[in-house]
Amino acid sequence: MPIKKKIGSSASILSAAKEVCRIEAEAIRNLPSLLTADFSNAANAILKTKGRVIVTGMGKSGNIGKKISATLASTGTPSLFVHPADANHGDLGMITKNDIVLAISYSGETEEIIQLLPYLKGMKIVLISMTGNTSSTLSKHSDYHINVFVRKEACPLQLAPTSSTTATLVMGDALAVALMKQRSFQPEDFAMLHPGGSLGKRLLTKVEHLMVKGNLPIVKVSTPLSKVISVMGAGRLGMAIVSGNKKLKGIITDGDLRRAIEKYKEKLFSLKAGNLMTKNAKTIGKDAKVIAAEELCNKHKITSLIVMEKQRMIGVFQIYNLAKV
């Protein structure tokens, strides 16, 4: 039967969207009340296993399972998604006795998953299930059952998995995050698993790899303004480092110059670097990660940091350098 095409009013479309958000939000709010000791026991079983978490599920549950598996794998828990139909036709060999299986089926009666039970039991593989039915075949045959029951689907026909898949995804995230915390998973660990991503690069790259270290625009406290401007122009960093007795005294930026013009007007060129500089310039060590440098710049609303090594000025890090990672 052909699907009827109809142009809806903006109000009716927005109303439907808001109703979906309300229903699914309510489903998520109800999840904490469904948590039992099986959740923590399942997490501990995963922490103890020498193998991987094999996630399996059919249809929409399978799609959610792929995301859960990917989240587990990227946050310190080795994981692999195996399609249950493929498993029943030769891919069971991908599941070893050291693995744990996380089977997802809202009804708990998905035929392709139920067919896996004899093999899993025969191999004595720990089985964790996520279903919305505590009395289902799958939940009863699981070592640990995680309940993802929802009162209603957001689909007005109560046919398309909507609230149930959202609840399952959130519960999967809850499991992954709980495992992360138990493993004391750190940003550096995340970066090691995401070396190709922007965040991973920032977590792994050190300040010394991006800093400008040659021909630094350094002036003395007594340097006249005309010379300061010349040094800043040659340095092409939009700033000058003010030094005295081989120690960092301050920094002069383009912003400092603009403010000085407004403040001193015709007296401007009678000033020295020491009159213009911002004292207590922010510094960072060369071995610091660039993500720490970025956070420091954002915190103080600045664009440049002086890179130090044993109280020596060895370079300049600028927020613009992050475009290189």
State both tokens at 40: 């923590």
Q: Where in the chain is the domain with CATH 3.40.50.10490?
A: 13-185
For the question of whether the overall pTM of this predicted structure is more than 0.85, the answer is no
CA dihedral (213, 219, 220, 225) in degrees, to 10, reads -160
Q: Tell me what pLDDT residue 198 has.
A: 58
Q: Tell me what pLDDT residue 192 has.
A: 63
Helices in the chain by DSSP H: which ranges? 10-30, 37-48, 59-74, 84-87, 111-114, 117-122, 137-140, 163-182, 187-193, 198-204, 207-210, 225-235, 254-264, 273-276, 290-300
Q: How far, in Å, CA of 128 to CA of 49, rounded?
A: 13
How many of the other CB atoms lie within 10 Å of CB of 151? Answer: 9
CATH match of 13-185 with 3.40.50.2300 = no
Output the CATH code of domain 207-324.
3.10.580.10
Q: Where in the chain is the domain with CATH 3.10.580.10?
A: 207-324
Q: Tell me what pLDDT residue 185 has.
A: 75
Pairing of the two strands 79-81 and 53-57? parallel
Tens digit of each residue's pLDDT, the chain (325 residues): 566 667 778 888 999 999 999 999 999 999 999 999 999 999 999 999 999 999 999 999 999 999 999 999 988 899 999 999 998 887 888 899 999 999 999 999 999 999 999 999 999 999 999 999 999 999 999 999 999 999 999 998 888 899 999 999 999 999 999 999 988 877 766 666 655 555 666 677 889 988 998 889 999 999 998 999 999 989 889 999 999 887 899 999 988 888 888 888 888 888 899 998 999 899 999 999 888 888 999 999 999 999 999 888 999 999 887 776 6
CB–CB of 251/241 below 8 Å? Answer: yes
Q: Tell me what pLDDT residue 193 has.
A: 64
